[in-house]
Structure 1
């Protein structure tokens, strides 16, 4: 019997999702980054000689995923030598009738969990792996509500795309409770739902951790992004977070002084950034000050900064207009729920148009377009396929 089990845990690739913060021109590069991160993950599996790869949700973006993408992912996973892959479909890629997971034949080393917690026993490793996948876009109850732990001598690992109640009822999910984790009897609970790495947590004798999404997608995704590298023994669990994300998003707020030149403003932005940071990361510069002066500076400042920062957008930070009535807009909640993201994409593009409009007539025009579009897209829907 194996004395220990080595694994890598990751989540949130969301292949083929168009939802990347920033100008449209960034999207192509970010999609390439995502594939590079996936290749880095596979290389890490081989280099670390891990026996198991756990993909805990949102591998694909169901609404947009292409068959060729699913086939490509399956083919690459099938080439992992000595590594078995376990997948729990998540909120964005549930195992419905039209699921992305049904678009290809998966290799023999890949196991995809479906509804209800099931188990796979691996006598060669003295190991039992439990898991449950999403089979609809919303939950009826917590995954652990009906789970009855089995008292045997195997090492036990459970995979879920879920959130723990101590971290809040995130985005409408029904959380699993600390006492449920404690009573589960598993050695390690591998979660995948949060945007960022949760750190190592414990409930009773059970160690648990959420790996967070593997690649940042917005300026709200703070901190490091990557995978969990773990080793489980009967008497101990060792967890290490390994950063794999290609780029980070940073916002810089800058108040422009009336006497400053463009070169001086740019220098203020660049002086705190190393050459590597300048080339690697994505930046949004929010400039504020005299409104007429700020609007005049946006375009030339962006052109000047782009010589040093390949991924930068400059936005005029405006004081709210008290006469403007804002319509409800789709929030980050909707993006995370796995529902269609057309409203969010529309809103993001209109915000870009508004920030780039250089005349009052243009701003008024795009403002009207925004109101009409958001009203039309404001209904939303919930999909449940059995």
Structure 2
């Protein structure tokens, strides 16, 4: 009987998704970054002798994924000798009739959960793994309201593409209530859905965590990205977060005062930004500088500052922001009013104009339903503009 079980948890790869915030052509680089990070996950499983790998949903972007990508993931997972792999299909890659998961023959060490909670017992590890997957694009019923583990002496673990919330207020995405987790009897609950790592949480005696997306895709997903690793025993759980993301999206805010729109102050602002970053960081990460202050003063600084710093950063976006109050939530909403990219020209493609307009609407969408609606509109619009799913893989 194993004294403890070593596991690793990750989610949100979204392979083949075209949605990466950055300069034109950036998607190819970020997709390469994603594969590099995924390979790092596999290497970590080998080096740390991970016995169970949890993939908690959104591994693929269903509308855009290629068969070759799914087959590559399946082949990669087959190389993890000695590691049992459990997948809970999520909101973006549900186990529907045309699911990405049906495009490959999965190796024997992979188990993909379907609808309804089921379990797999692993006697050699003294573990029972529970799970359920999405089988539609919208969740009609909660994953569990009165679920309780079978008390058989094994360590009970569950993976779900879901989130914990104290209120049942989501449409199409029903959260797990804290009292359900407390009553479940689980030792550990591996969740997937959040953009960022949630930290190590506890509900009753159950430890739970969401690892967040494996790689950041936009400035809205700043902060570290990676995986959760842990060791489980019958009465304890040791869990930690490991950052694996290749690049960061970093935002900095500068306030422009009256009479500061002169060359000396622009040079001073440039020097301040350079002093706060290393040359390595400026070539690796993506930066956005938010300028706030009197409109005329800021307008006079945006383009000169962009040109002055263009050669120092691999990607830099200088944005003039205007604060406005959302009447429904009472919170401050920052809306980009002008963006100059690293070439300093400020000319946008039709697709970029469309994306910017949708982003403005997303800034004003204060609930999950409206945010998801905006994202769906963006997918449909980009597909119509020729940036949708590519069926010809050659």
- TM-score, scaled to structure 2: 0.79
Where 2:220 maps in the other structure, the secondary structure is coil
Q: Which residue of 2 aligns with 1:26?
A: 26
Where 2:221 maps in the other structure, the secondary structure is coil
Mapped to 1, the partners of 2:244 and 2:83 lie a distance apart of: 19
| CA drift at 1:282 | 1.0
Q: Which residue of 1 aligns with 2:350?
A: none
Give runs of aligned pairs for residues 66-145 of structure 1, distance below 5 A.
66-145=66-145
1:268 aligns to 2:267 (yes or no): no
Asked if the contact 2:146–2:180 (Cα under 8 Å) also holds between the matched residues in 1, the reply is: no
| CA drift at 1:340 | 8.8
1:313 aligns to 2:345 (yes or no): no
C-alpha distance after superposition, 1:136-182 (max 9, x if no partner): 11111210125343121111110011111248856752111112112
Give runs of aligned pairs for residues 239-318 of structure 1, distance below 5 A.
239-256=239-256, 257-261=260-264, 262-289=266-293, 291=295, 294-295=298-299, 297-317=301-321
Mapped to 2, the partners of 1:25 and 1:291 lie a distance apart of: 32
Asked if the contact 1:334–1:341 (Cα under 8 Å) also holds between the matched residues in 2, the reply is: no
Where 1:208 maps in the other structure, the secondary structure is strand
Alignment match of 2:378 (pick from 341, 344, 350): 344
Mapped to 2, the partners of 1:167 and 1:271 lie a distance apart of: 45
Asked if the contact 1:164–1:175 (Cα under 8 Å) also holds between the matched residues in 2, the reply is: yes
Asked if the contact 2:212–2:225 (Cα under 8 Å) also holds between the matched residues in 1, the reply is: yes
Where 1:329 maps in the other structure, the secondary structure is helix
Q: Which residue of 2 aligns with 1:175?
A: 175
Asked if the contact 2:158–2:190 (Cα under 8 Å) also holds between the matched residues in 1, the reply is: yes
Mapped to 2, the partners of 1:310 and 1:340 lie a distance apart of: 29
* Alignment gaps of 5+ in structure 2: 325-336, 338-356, 385-394
Q: Which residue of 2 aligns with 1:329?
A: 361
Asked if the contact 1:161–1:193 (Cα under 8 Å) also holds between the matched residues in 2, the reply is: yes
Mapped to 1, the partners of 2:299 and 2:51 lie a distance apart of: 56
| CA drift at 1:278 | 1.8
| CA drift at 1:273 | 1.2
Q: Which residue of 1 aligns with 2:210?
A: 210
Mapped to 1, the partners of 2:379 and 2:254 lie a distance apart of: 27
Give runs of aligned pairs for residues 214-253 of structure 1, distance below 5 A.
214-253=214-253
Task: Pick closer, same or farther for the CA change 1:311–1:230 going to 2, 3 Å.
Answer: same
C-alpha distance after superposition, 1:275-332 (max 9, x if no partner): 3322222111223456456556544533432322102112233577xxx9x9983559
Mapped to 2, the partners of 1:284 and 1:214 lie a distance apart of: 21
Mapped to 2, the partners of 1:8 and 1:18 lie a distance apart of: 27
Mapped to 2, the partners of 1:52 and 1:98 lie a distance apart of: 27
Mapped to 2, the partners of 1:218 and 1:335 lie a distance apart of: 18
CA root-mean-square deviation: 2.8
Deviates more, 1:281-290 or 1:179-188: 281-290
* Alignment gaps of 5+ in structure 1: 349-372, 374-386
| CA drift at 1:119 | 0.4
Q: Which residue of 1 aligns with 2:195?
A: 195
